[in-house]
Amino acid sequence: MKLSERQEQIIELVKANEPITSEAIAKELGLTRSAIRPDLSILTMTGILQARPKVGYVCMRNSSKNSSSGEIRKIRVRDIMSKPVLVKEETPVYEAILTLFLNDAGTLFIENDGVLLGAVSRKDFIKMAMGTADMHRVPVGIIMTRMPNIIWVSEDDSAFVAAKKIIEHQVDSLPVIRREGVDGKEVLKIVGKISKTTITGIFVKLGEDE
């Protein structure tokens, strides 16, 4: 996996002028700060650069076009996860469908006091709609896939692990889980989600050559 030409330019600028601010980097490249923000995010998440508040960016190690192979393994799920769309087990299927589309999500996660109980995908809702059951009365818990049959990742897992699970299990998104002890028992709290779109964006950004 290769760094883009612009990312290599940014690294060389930081090496020669560290610490250097994002404004100065953008000016040297003849670009806006917003244009280079994704590149700086990738370089900091992969540990090539470090952002120091009120100081600027510094280079943590040498890099070349081939040195970023495996960098995706260094990106932690906690750094890229987003907020999950959650509903209760007793939520009517009709309301769950509205929640799904209003949030432009591919999967709804079912929880109780933050504990993950299951998940429902768009495919599940389509199957339900093709049947004869009353969607206004049937609770989403009836059609959800229940734990422990949900594939999940933890905050400490790498983006590579998440990507591999998404591909292997052919799902749109994964819940991000944190193990916690409640009343002497271990429970799985849902704290985020990581989607196919998020993973794809990272792989594209790391691999593109501009």
pLDDT in tens, 12-28: 999 999 899 999 999 99
Are residues 117 and 143 both part of a single domain?
yes
State how many domains the chain has. 2
27: tokens are 């000016």
Q: Is residue 206 assigned to a domain?
A: no
User: Domain containing 47 — which CATH number?
Assistant: 1.10.10.10
Confidence class of residue 182 from pLDDT cuts 50, 70 and 90? confident
Q: Is 178 inside a domain boundary?
A: yes
User: Could you tell me the pTM of the whole model?
Assistant: 0.65
CB atoms within 10 A of CB 18: 15
Which whole number is the average pLDDT over 133-141? 92
In 3D space, the residue among 182, 193, 206 whose CA is nearest the CA of residue 77 turns out to be 193
Residues 43 and 146 in one domain: no
Tell me which residue of 129, 203, 131 sits closest to 164, measured CA to CA. Answer: 203
- The C-alpha atoms of residue 194 and residue 197 are separated, in whole angstroms, by 8
Q: What range defines the domain where residue 62 resides?
A: 5-69
Regarding whether 96 and 27 lie in a shared domain, the answer is: no
Structure tokens at 90: 């007793």
